[in-house]
Every structure is written in C-alpha cells, then in structure tokens.
C-alpha cells in the first residue's frame, strides 16, 4: 500500500523544496529589488512596504495558481526588470515610476488575454531581446568588481566564496557569498543597524502619474524584458518538465495581481523559472501530479516573508554598499553570460545585436527616453537595413 501523503517522509521534501525555492529567490535578488526601489526615490519605510507587498503578491499567486492548475506554478518578481529599473529610473519622480508599474502590468494583462506577447516576440528577434538585457545587466557585472578598490577583503571574499561554491553547491552559491560577506562586514564593524526596532510594514498608496517619455524609455523595455526574460522562461520550465500550463491564463493572472498592487510598490509578479525548477524534480515527489504541493507551500512561505518586509529592508539598509553591489552583481552574472551568448550566437543577427547591446549599455538618454529603448530601436533598424529578419 502506498504511504500516506501526510507522513513526514512524504511531506518533508515538499516543504523543503518550497522553502529552498523562496530562499533562492530572495537571497539572489532582494538586493537588486532594494537598489531599484532606492533608485526610484523610495524611503526605507516605503521599501519595506514594497517588499511586503511583493511577498504577499507572490504568495497569493503561487498558492492560488498551484491549487487551481494542480501544477507546480511558482510566482516571482522580475529580476531582470528590477535590474532595468535600478539603472533607468534615477531622477524620475516616484509617481512617474509607479505610473510605469501600472502601465506595464496593464500591458502584460492585455498581452496575456489577446496573445499580443507571442506576436511581439515573433517580430523582435531573440538575439535583440537578449542583447538589450545584456546591455542592462553590464553595469551590474562591472559593479561586481569595483568594490575591490573600496574594500578588497569584503568584495574579494564574496567573489571567492561564489566561485568555490559554484562547483559543488551552485544553488546556494549566492547565499553562501552573502553569509561570508556579512561575517566579513561584522568583523570590520561595517554593519550599522538603526536604534529603532523594526515595525510591520504598511504599504503606502502612491498615486501613479503617466509620463510619456518615461513610459517609452523605461516602460516598453521593462515590459519586453519582463516577458522575454522572466515569463517566457517560466512557462518553458514548466513545459520542459512535462506540464502543459495555460499560458495566457498564467500571464493574465500574474499580471492582474501586479496591476492591482502596483500603486503599493508591487512592481511585478511573473511566472518563476530558476527557483521554480527546485520544485519540479523527482526528489520533490516521484509523482509529477503531486509536485504542485511544493509551490503551494512556497506560497505560504512567501506570505510569511510579506509580513517581514520592514525587517528585510532594515537589514539591507544596514549592510555596506559594497556588499550590496557585489551580491547583486554575482546574482546576475549567470544571466549576463547567457544573454551575451544568445545575443551573439547567430551570425546573421550579430551586427544588430552588438549595436543594441552597446547602445543599451551606454546609458544615454535622447529626447528624455532611456537607452534600453534606443538600443532595441537601433538593433531593429540595423536588422532591417541588413535584410535579416526572424526570431534569431
């Protein structure tokens, strides 16, 4: 007789995989979210509210969609999207940034309902989308090592830990680098916690304002990066594990939840890829039909983190800037490498991809519109002039 699902031997792998998936998501990119919110001009209290809202949003969608589809659907924020925001929204009023969130998530809902996303991705070659993302991430990659000049012991120890961990414990490489960084920073007395005790974060409603230049320069690239680099891989991960997810429904529901919570700092809710894969292996449960329980449990952990957003924001604010920059850079090195490879592997699209990459990485602003938009536009123009078309 098959053992009951309620027995610890059957439940423990489900609980652990759900916990590890959430841990990987937060440890690998919470620093990037913090940088994006800080660049948007949010106060530490507002950042705590944003992190709380994101945890609640991802918890609701992970739990709800897993129960509904009976598939291991895990929600996540858009890490590439956060990286774009961190490098693109400096100087914009916070209301304009919230307007970008609202408009982008509304477009994601529309794209899910109408199939717009699939049509856009047929027009824009994969090489150009990858080149734009690589240009966005280049600054993070460079910032991984600039800390060596400021604090070689702290930055160097984190990089070395990450390199050694990548071989034997790749899933925990970022977490171990963070722990080593904290230990070194403690030894240097470089962590400065505020005197006041953290309180529960109360998300603050911020009235959105729609700035056309910001919507074109940041919103359009943010939409493309989020869909091409987060939602599309998330759907592909489910399909690669033998599931047939309702693509339009998942895109629409995650976008709808993010749209509702955008004025409170819930900038994105997407279908997870890397962290979701933790919940899809044979070690989670031999029966694929039961693995949805792991992502449902992850949803519960997400909800718990949603109530500790203020504490997380306080801890991130107390850490040295070198530690935050190094951690964010290490977390994105893999994505940067993959993006560069995809951008340049097709010789027919290499020139247009290189132009898109360099122009995006330049950080220029023309007519008030950011470099990511111009990088993509220039890449498409070069592609047309060279007579190369298609997905690449």
DSSP 67-121: HHH-S---EE--HHHHHHHHHH-TTS-HHHHHHHHHHHHHHHHHHHHH-HHHHHH
Could you read off the pLDDT of 112-160 as tens digits, one per residue?
888 777 676 667 777 887 787 788 778 878 888 998 998 999 999 999 9
pLDDT at 204: 83
Residue with the bigger pLDDT between 239 and 354: it is 354
Token pair 């949803």 is found at 299
Work out the end-to-end distance of the chain between its first and last CA atoms, rounded to an integer number of angstroms.
52
Maximum distance among all Cα pairs of the chain, rounded to whole angstroms: 70
Q: Which of 32, 113, 17, 103 is nearest to 62 (CA)?
A: 17
* DSSP secondary structure string for all residues of 234-297: HHHHHHHTT----HHHHHHHHHHHHHHHGGGT----EE-SHHHHTTSSTTT-SSGGGTHHHHHH
Could you read off the pLDDT of 184-243 as tens digits, one per residue?
999 988 887 766 555 556 778 999 999 998 898 889 889 988 887 778 778 877 876 778
Residue with the bigger pLDDT between 1 and 124: it is 124
For residue 34, with 0-12 CB atoms within 10 Å meaning exposed, 13-18 middle and 19 or more buried, which class applies? Answer: buried
Which band of pLDDT confidence, cut at 50, 70 and 90, is reported for residue 256? Answer: very high
* Pair type for strands 270-271 and 75-76: antiparallel
Contact indicator for 157, 184 with CB cutoff of 8 Å: yes
Could you read off the pLDDT of 25-52 as tens digits, one per residue?
776 677 788 888 888 888 877 888 888 8
Mean pLDDT of the chain: 82
């Amino acid at each position: 007789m098959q053992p009951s699902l309620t027995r610890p031997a059957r439940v423990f792998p489900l609980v652990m995989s759900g916990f590890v998936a959430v841990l990987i998501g937060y440890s690998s990119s919470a620093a990037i979210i913090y940088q994006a919110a800080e660049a948007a001009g949010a106060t530490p209290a507002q950042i705590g509210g944003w992190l709380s809202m994101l945890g609640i949003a991802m918890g609701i969608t992970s739990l709800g969609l897993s129960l509904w589809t009976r598939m291991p659907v895990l929600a996540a924020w858009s890490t590439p999207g956060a990286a774009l925001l961190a490098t693109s929204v400096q100087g914009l009023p916070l209301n304009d940034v919230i307007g970008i969130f609202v408009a982008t998530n509304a477009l994601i809902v529309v794209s899910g309902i109408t199939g717009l996303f699939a049509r856009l991705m047929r027009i824009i070659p994969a090489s150009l989308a990858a080149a734009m993302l690589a240009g966005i991430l280049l600054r993070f990659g460079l910032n991984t090592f600039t800390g060596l000049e400021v604090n070689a012991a702290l930055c160097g120890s984190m990089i070395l830990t990450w390199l050694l961990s990548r071989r034997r414990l790749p899933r925990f490489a970022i977490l171990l680098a963070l722990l080593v960084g904290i230990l070194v920073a403690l030894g240097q007395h470089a962590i400065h916690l505020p005197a006041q005790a953290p309180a529960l974060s109360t998300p603050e409603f911020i009235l959105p304002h729609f700035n056309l230049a910001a919507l074109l320069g940041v919103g359009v690239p943010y939409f493309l990066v989020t869909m091409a680099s987060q939602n599309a891989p998330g759907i592909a991960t489910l399909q690669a594990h033998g599931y047939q997810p309702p693509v339009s429904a998942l895109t629409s529901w995650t976008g709808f939840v993010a749209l509702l919570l955008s004025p409170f700092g819930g900038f994105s809710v997407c279908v997870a890829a890397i962290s979701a894969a933790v919940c899809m292996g044979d070690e989670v449960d031999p029966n694929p039909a039961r693995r949805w329980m792991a992502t449902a449990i992850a949803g519960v952990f997400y909800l718990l983190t949603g109530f500790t957003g203020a504490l997380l924001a306080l801890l991130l604010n107390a850490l040295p800037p070198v530690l935050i920059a190094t951690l964010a850079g290490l977390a994105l090195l893999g994505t940067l490498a993959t993006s560069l490879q995809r951008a340049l592997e097709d010789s027919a699209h290499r020139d247009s991809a290189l132009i898109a990459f360099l122009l995006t990485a330049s950080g220029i602003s023309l007519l008030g519109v950011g470099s990511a938009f111009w990088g993509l536009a220039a890449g498409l123009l070069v592609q047309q002039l060279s007579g190369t078309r298609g997905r690449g």
